């Protein structure tokens, strides 16, 4: 995790993060339009006539992904099992992040008084809970007995 905090503050990572946040904004915009919302993207902001939401640092699921990967790497398992866990976990967090952005847009429209709570308290707790549950699930998967195949017979 220390490596994450050192890297994320460098100018190079800052430029990468800005591009990545823009990608998140465009993907969330596409999902919102699929749901019938007439949104437009301007840099990192998704706008409609009803609401606007900015995708900023911290709205990227990178930190929970690193947290999950750090926990996964600290557990004794094969490199293959760790690679599978890292790829699947990272993909899950990125998908969850898009769900978060889209849901916050709808919360902003339909429950604006709950937006701050959803943004600052609910979604961060969801990411922490998912990281822990996913890690525990991965441990269970990584420790499962391996079936040995001899001459095509299990």
| DSSP string of 66-128, one letter each residue | HHHHHHHHTS---HHHHHHHHHHHHHHHHHHHHHHHHHHHHHHHH-GGGHHHIIIIIHHHHHH
**Residue 30's pLDDT is what?**
97
31 membership: H or E segment, kind and range: helix 11-34
**Residue 6's pLDDT is what?**
76
**Average model confidence (pLDDT) across the chain:** 90
**Residue 51's pLDDT is what?**
95
Q: Which residues of the chain have pLDDT under 50?
A: none
**Residue 3's pLDDT is what?**
75
**Residue 152's pLDDT is what?**
61
**Residue 146's pLDDT is what?**
67
**Residue 148's pLDDT is what?**
61
């Amino acid at each position: 995790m220390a490596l994450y905090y050192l890297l994320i503050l460098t100018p190079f990572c800052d430029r990468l993060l800005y591009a990545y946040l823009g990608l998140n904004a465009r993907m969330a915009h596409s999902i919102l339009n699929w749901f019938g919302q007439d949104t437009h993207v301007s840099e990192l902001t998704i706008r409609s006539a009803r609401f606007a939401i900015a995708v900023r640092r911290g709205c990227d699921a990178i930190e929970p992904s690193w947290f999950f990967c750090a926990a996964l790497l600290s557990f004794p398992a094969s490199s293959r099992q760790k690679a599978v866990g890292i790829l699947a976990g990272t993909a899950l967090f990125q998908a969850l992040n898009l769900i978060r952005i889209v849901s916050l847009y709808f919360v902003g429209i339909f429950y604006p008084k709950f937006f701050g709570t959803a943004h600052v308290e609910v979604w961060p707790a969801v990411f922490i809970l998912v990281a822990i549950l996913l890690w525990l699930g991965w441990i269970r998967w990584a420790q499962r007995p391996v079936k040995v195949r001899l001459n095509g017979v299990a």
